[in-house]
Structure 1
Amino acid sequence: MTAVIQLAVQALAPNLQRQMWQGDQVAGPLAQTISSGHPALDRALPGQGWPIGSLTELLVEHDGVGEMRLLVYALRQLTVEAERHVVMIAPPYHPHTTALKAWGIAVERVFWVRAAEAQAFWAAEQALKQGGIGAVLMWASNARPEALRRLQVAAQDSRSLAFLIRPANVAVHSSAAPLRMICSPILPNGAQAMKRRLWLHKVGLAIDIIKRRGPPLAEPLRMELPVQEAMLPARTARPRRHERKANHVVDRCDIATLIAGGREAASVREREHEPIESA
């Protein structure tokens, strides 16, 4: 049977061959892709990179665990090399201009759209229809199946990367997104003996691809994604009274809390000087 299928595929036109794949193989490129900047992740992604014209879901345990650091390379390529725009829709935190600049992203090509969750999907669909948009990033905690289907259709008709960032607990629900992955923070080896600032420079993500055109991963990928100094609170800043102090051991929830706190503090300081365009 396998031989028959292979012969049938070979008889198809090249454009149709690219749209077929066997369940035990990772699909080849259906369209153009952009490298993630991480060779191990590229090898696990169909087409060897983030797919253009397709919806990708990043499912995170907590906002701020590293989902933006995971996308840095692609966003830098789009805004600097390709001179295209990036649209962030309903992010949970104020976009951190200092960190974006430290990553080499052209902040003048980044747009921040404030939108209620009920309006965010509409905004994402409209953004995907615009020329010159390299990537659309949208955050949502809830999503109806029909909204996901519309977003996937809008992504298919575009020449953009489309990312939907949602809580990890929605992984049990079906989705129209062809590519879904769970991103979980991991601490570096020996973190218990390190000072907090040191291990933040060695923190990473475990990435489990739960849906792709191909077989599941044998085990999650482990990637080091260090937090840059620009994202951390100033060394002289005092911790807020309601925050739990931790000198050495910080659990996974605290990764997002600390990073988010740094972004919020820095954003307040620079908001009057270098704001990101918003709508």
Structure 2
Amino acid sequence: MASLSSGPRTPALPAGLAQHADVWRAAELGSHSLPALDTGYAALNQVLPGGGWPQGALVEMLQPQAGLHEWGLLAPALAAVQAAAPAKLVVLVGAPWLPFGPALGARQLNMQRMLRVHSQGPALLWATREALQCADVAAVLAWLPDARSAHLRRLQMAAQAHSQLLFVFRPLRAQLESSPAPLRLLLEGAADQEGQLRVHVLKRRGPPLAAPLLLATRPARLTALLAASRERVRRRREEAGVLPRLQPAQARVALVPGEEAHALLDRIANIPHH
């Protein structure tokens, strides 16, 4: 008499296929055959095939507004790339804003080895492909809000052919479109937790991720200095309220929050890294 099964079982693969390195079961996290770069976040490494950013594949990132979250997420990996290959460039194609040097310097990024390509329309795709083919380029970051699936497929092929790091940023509306990217993420800030980033893994070589990852993307030193800055502003406002009769010549005007943040970032960029 046949015994009853206690539950569903994963069908066994034939011996020849089971030993083949390229065979992957959809219920398992794929071990990517491409070299992987440490993301700088242990929790993120654990859910990515290969344990990091794939080198030689397109990584697509969707976010509600360009320029909000990409630097916090990618800064650790890009800093490591620059440290390993200081002569190579990180190319920014179609960046919506001019990156703020002191802020990136606080994240140990070298602005002098970044090249920004400012263009529009089809020229953005052309510039991205050209950068991927350049041996002097270590990574390419491209903001392509209007790219189609066919465009992304050509970029994926170029990244694979030249073993390049490629990150493409697109708006949230692209979530409903098909994409050839092997890795697709959705980024959103955590409104209730300052300096935190929620990362939804929309597509990977592996089973769906049930819940988003919550990553602390703000450097601890920057968090501490910003907290100290806010405390100084609070104390100045309290002193101004307690001593309302100070003469104008005796009163000290506090920097507005934006000016305070810029001043702090300038200080951080000049702090020696240990």
TM-score bracket, shorter-length normalisation:
0.7 to 0.9
Gaps (5+ residues) in structure 2? 1-8, 230-256, 267-274
For 1:273, the equivalent position in structure 2 comes to none
Instruction: Output the CA distance in 1 between the equivalents of 2:80 and 2:216.
Output: 20
Matched, 1:207 2:210: no
Note if contact 1:58-1:165 (Cα within 8 Å) is conserved in structure 2.
Answer: yes
Gaps (5+ residues) in structure 1? 190-201, 236-260, 271-279
Matched, 1:57 2:60: yes
Q: Deviations over 1:113-170 (max 9, x none)?
A: 1111321111111100111321100002111221111011011112221000011121
For 1:106, the equivalent position in structure 2 comes to 110
Aligned partner (choices 142, 147, 153) of residue 149 of structure 1 = 153
Q: CA deviation at 1:105?
A: 1.2
Q: CA deviation at 1:225?
A: 1.9
What are the equivalent positions in structure 2 for 1:64-143 lying under 5 Å apart? 64-83=67-86, 84-143=88-147
Note if contact 1:34-1:50 (Cα within 8 Å) is conserved in structure 2.
Answer: yes
Instruction: Output the CA distance in 2 between the equivalents of 1:157 and 1:49.
Output: 19
Q: Deviations over 1:166-202 (max 9, x none)?
A: 111211110111110100110345xxxxxxxxxxxx3
SS, match of residue 49 in structure 2: coil
Q: CA deviation at 1:7?
A: 2.1
Note if contact 1:78-1:85 (Cα within 8 Å) is conserved in structure 2.
Answer: no
Q: CA deviation at 1:30?
A: 1.1
Instruction: Output the CA distance in 1 between the equivalents of 2:17 and 2:76.
Output: 35
Instruction: Output the CA distance in 1 between the equivalents of 2:149 and 2:67.
Output: 25
Letter in 2 for 1:90: G
Letter in 2 for 1:125: R
Note if contact 1:80-1:106 (Cα within 8 Å) is conserved in structure 2.
Answer: no
Q: Which has the higher contact order (CA 8 A, sep 6+)?
A: 1
What are the equivalent positions in structure 2 for 1:1-279 lying under 5 Å apart? 2-5=10-13, 7-12=15-20, 17=21, 19-83=22-86, 84-189=88-193, 202-226=194-218, 228=222
The percentage of counterpart residues that share the same residue type is: 33
Instruction: Output the CA distance in 2 between the equivalents of 1:77 and 1:69.
Output: 14
Q: Deviations over 1:182-240 (max 9, x none)?
A: 00110345xxxxxxxxxxxx3211111111111110111111222747xx9xx8xxxxx
Note if contact 1:209-1:220 (Cα within 8 Å) is conserved in structure 2.
Answer: yes
For 1:252, the equivalent position in structure 2 comes to none
Q: Answer with 1 or 2: which has the greater Rg.
A: 2
Q: CA deviation at 1:21?
A: 1.2
Note if contact 1:135-1:162 (Cα within 8 Å) is conserved in structure 2.
Answer: yes
Q: CA deviation at 1:2?
A: 4.6
Letter in 1 for 2:66: D
Q: Deviations over 1:16-59 (max 9, x none)?
A: x1x33111111102111101100000001110000000000010
For 2:238, the equivalent position in structure 1 comes to none
Q: Which moved more, 1:94-103 or 1:207-216?
A: 94-103
SS, match of residue 116 in structure 2: strand
Q: Which moved more, 1:68-77 or 1:139-148?
A: 139-148
